[in-house]
Amino acid sequence: MLIFAYMNKYTKKGLEKRKKDREGYKEFFEKHILRIKKSNAKCLECGNNLKGSVREIAHILPKSQFKSISKLDENIIYLCEEHHNYFDNRSNKDVKNMGIFKKVSEAFQSLLEKITEEINYKTYDRYE
């Protein structure tokens, strides 16, 4: 018989930090879900109708890396789940071939002055 021990993913201190880092996300995502539903928004890449799901709210610059702009509306684009996943997980070359790339690149340029974290060359390469 196998016995699996439950291991906490976070320490108490780590859990408190995570909770603090995620403050305001619930309201932020609810606002965008409502916006998608009210405006009958479409995926900016393929034009398919969106349903109003968190999975359709894509951060241009990852919220995990760029906490200073994670809740800015300018850092959001609406993509269907398929294109959101593609955008988040594909190479720079693949992202540059997407129809939304010009919009994403322009958004990156406008967000630069608001970012407080250090930006590495890989990030510049992805968006320029």
Q: Which of 61, 97, 54 is nearest to 78 (CA)?
A: 54
**What pTM was estimated for this model as a whole?**
0.85
Per-residue pLDDT tens for 38-92? Answer: 999 999 999 999 999 999 999 999 999 999 999 999 999 999 999 999 999 999 9
In a 13 Å sphere around the CA of 116, the CA atoms on its Cβ side amount to 4
| φ, ψ for residue 94, nearest 5 deg | -65, -45
**33, containing H or E segment:** helix 25-39
Inform me whether the pLDDT recorded for 3 exceeds 80.
no
The DSSP call for residue 61 is S
> Among residues of the chain, what percentage have pLDDT more than 70?
93
